[in-house]
Amino acid sequence: MGPGARRREGIAEFVAGAWPALDGLGAVADDASPDRLSFHTDPAAAVAGAGFVQESAPEKLDLKRTLYAEIDAALPGDAVMASSTSGLLMSELQAGFSNAAHFVVGHPFNPPHLIPLVEVVGGADTGEGVVDWAIDFYNAHGKKAIRLNHEAPGHLVNRLQVALWREAMDAVLTGLASVEDVDAALKYGPGLRLAVMGPFELCHLAGGPEGFSNFLDHFGDALQHWVDDMRPVELTPEVREKLKAAVAGALGGREFASIASERDTLLLPVLSTLARLRREHGLG
């Protein structure tokens, strides 16, 4: 079996495994079926007749632009193509293509079949209304799409995550806490609150009845002191090896599939419960 066949088999197995979870979340249309999954070796053939294309090629600008060149001529004139890029700029991806006006970033999050968030942002050549169309498309299919008002490397959410990762890595590298305790700190602390509210909402509550204004007045000096104490983490070869060893030791040789299964097993009931409570109480 060649690499292409193995890849197709792996994707088909993943879809089959994810289908019950999607069905349980009410994310499967009545006429949907994993049997409708098809594979193509020619990118142009894959997009022929499509109204929407989600491009998820590896995170390499040259590779994506080579793929775009093959797709561009075959993409239907009214189709929208969204890129799953984690941080490349759409302006650089779309430049020079005849269908550039229909290209946007539509960045989902792992596991993408469960996590509803999608970041949407256009590039310099994206046409008026295309970002709105993409947001409406994602929302109509059970996602929660957000608009970014301009491009930035890493978009929005990865920049927020990198700020957290920086402090997590710094804590391990400086000996402030172990890998295990850094993970536990988020899982059993702020992570629980962040599953239901964003940082500004939580800060507003932390300010008591007077809200965010009181929070900022009360904690502003301390926040500034903590921000000033934060340091950049230089991911030199030596630092990378130290972090790799620390994480490997903390995970104790657990298999990738076991960790992914634990994530999905715990995540699925959280998503189901939140969706049900939001429906019952009319919450956003």
Kindly give the pairing relationship between strand 103-107 and strand 117-122.
antiparallel
Q: pLDDT averaged over the chain?
A: 95
**Percentage above 70 pLDDT, the chain:** 99
Q: Which CATH class is domain 157-253?
A: mainly alpha
Give kind and range of the element (H or E) at residue 266. Answer: helix 256-281
**Which fold is adopted by the domain 50-147?**
Rossmann fold (3.40.50)
pLDDT at 186 over 70: yes
Q: If 0-12 CB within 10 Å is exposed, 13-18 middle and 19+ buried, where does residue 220 land? A: exposed
Lowest mean pLDDT among 10-14, 224-228, 267-271: 10-14
- Residues 127, 100: Cα–Cα separation, whole Å: 8
Q: Given this model, what pLDDT does residue 1 score? A: 44
pTM score over 0.85: yes
- Residue 181: which pLDDT band, with cuts at 50, 70 and 90? very high
Q: What is the mean pLDDT of residues 100-125?
A: 97
Q: Given this model, what pLDDT does residue 48 score? A: 93
200-255 tens-digit pLDDT? 999 999 999 999 999 999 999 999 999 999 999 999 999 999 999 999 999 999 99
Q: Which residues lie below 8 Å from residue 172, measured CB to CB, with a gap of 6+?
A: 178, 179, 182, 243, 246
All structural domains of the chain with their residue ranges: 1-39, 50-147, 157-253
Tell me which residue of 96, 154, 73 sits closest to 121, measured CA to CA.
154
In terms of pLDDT, which residue wins out, 1 or 106?
A: 106
- Residue 29: which pLDDT band, with cuts at 50, 70 and 90? confident
Q: Given this model, what pLDDT does residue 7 score? A: 85
Q: Given this model, what pLDDT does residue 24 score? A: 84
Q: Give one DSSP letter per residue of 218-261, joined into a string.
A: HHHHHHHHHHHH-------HHHHHHHHHHHHHHHTT--HHHHHH
Q: Given this model, what pLDDT does residue 257 score? A: 92
- Residue 21: which pLDDT band, with cuts at 50, 70 and 90? confident
